[in-house]
Chain A
């Protein structure tokens, strides 16, 4: 299950603006607090932040809305946050903000077929993420085989992605991008 949070609606509720741009730090902080309130009620569900109707996202607001939200949800039991409806210029700002904290998030960009990792990810993680996306839910060995990597290398990448909540790890030792993809 995934809870979808439309950021354009949260923005209107948070700052009662006629505009649909996520700009300025105080605006971002107000939006984040509202999103956190929603997430507290979602229990163990995944959550999707929907940027589809958002105009601009500046760098400071990306820091407040996405980076600080990811930090805050580490302690809140939300399994995964995924971004959707993201435009390229949103992605630029979000990527820069996340890099400062060594954070990662899965994003579905507008008109993109495959999900993308935004943030500071080692190359191996991005490669493993792409392979898992192609293969679908799988244990470590098929991912290692597909990439012609030693099993330990694939395991390191998949576990890193799991720790950053970008990949779901199941009790049967399989991994998947998850339903959002």
Chain B
């Protein structure tokens, strides 16, 4: 038997909930078919989540899941360009014509989908944030050099969370978009990071769960790390990553949204309407972090 898990038409960090809802009980008792044939658009958060699902199933030793590629013209080709299919073919049995397009770092893809396994990968990712990408951040998003520096710092810290806390590998992708509805046509840079690891709650269980008693759960664990800067390590210098990212985002009206297990917690700027805390969501493996940095407001 195969369980069909539909991928939403628009797959982003919020509609991952719909993907999760299709999974049913975990670990799955049937083979999974991830059906993206009707998918027309996916954000980097959607891409990294899809691969996280494949990786989580592989680590369970479950039968290799299937992935039906998007049918709409150009969509699968974009997935290839963004680096998704290169890795999806290792985790899924892919159905549909796989475009043999080179992974590309063009104006909208600052960092194609990239695996993070260790510290060397994080150094490589930050180092690869090329002059080309830096120029896009400076000229298309009109970010000041100091803002571009903070972007790299945030990228580094988000990727390090995987190495430090997940206990397994993860994925990162960075794209540039135009936010027409929410920001009146301003460009934004989006960093999406996801892993199939132990999640925030398990990472903090040993040191934090007793403090919170019955209130302890996925949402509280994310808040403890993200809002209060608490780490599972007792070293006073720990917890710098989220603290630094938050400070940077507060200065530039950026947003961070963290999903882990059955909860999502976000620090939401005035231009967005995401709910700051969501609980009892359908369970999804590991942790997902999405960071949005708006370009300069032309009216400012």
List residues of chain A with CB under 8 Å of any chain B CB.
Answer: 15, 17-19, 21, 23-27, 55-60, 62-64, 67-68, 87-90, 92-93, 96-97, 100-101
Q: For the complex, give the distance between the alpha carbons of A13 and B286 in Å.
A: 35
Q: How distant is the Cα of A55 from the Cα of B160 in the complex, in angstroms?
A: 18
Distance (whole angstroms) from the CB of A103 to the closest CB of chain B: 10
Binds A, one of B12-20, B28-36, B240-248, B274-282: B240-248
User: B interface vs A, CB < 8 Å?
Assistant: 119-120, 122-124, 126-127, 145-146, 148-150, 152-153, 156-157, 160, 163-164, 236-237, 240-241, 243-244, 247-248
Q: A18-B127, A59-B240 are in contact. List 18 more A-B contacts (CB 8 A).
A: A17-B120, A23-B156, A24-B122, A24-B123, A24-B163, A26-B119, A58-B152, A63-B237, A87-B146, A87-B149, A89-B150, A92-B153, A92-B244, A96-B240, A96-B244, A97-B237, A100-B236, A100-B240
Contact assessment for A21 and B123 in the assembled complex, using a CB-CB cutoff below 8 Å: yes
Assess whether B149 is in contact with A89, with CB atoms less than 8 Å apart: yes
- Choice from B126, B157, B236 contacting A19 with Cβ under 8 Å: B126
- CB-nearest residue of chain A to B163: A24
User: Which chain B residue lies CB-closest to A60?
Assistant: B240
Q: Report the bound CA distance from A58 to B153 in whole Å.
A: 5
Residue from B123, B124, B157, B247 in contact with A60 in the complex, judged by beta carbons closer than 8 Å: B157
CB atoms of B152 and A97 under 8 A apart: no
User: Which partner residue on chain B sits nearest A59 by CB separation?
Assistant: B244
A15 to B247, CA, bound (A): 29
CA distance A73 to B250 in the complex (A): 34
Beta-carbon contact of B123 and A27 below 8 Å: yes
Contacts of A26 in B (CB 8 A): 119
Is B237's CB under 8 angstroms from A101's CB? yes
With contact pairs A56-B149, A59-B243, A60-B157 given, residues A21 and B236 touching in the complex (Cβ less than 8 Å): no
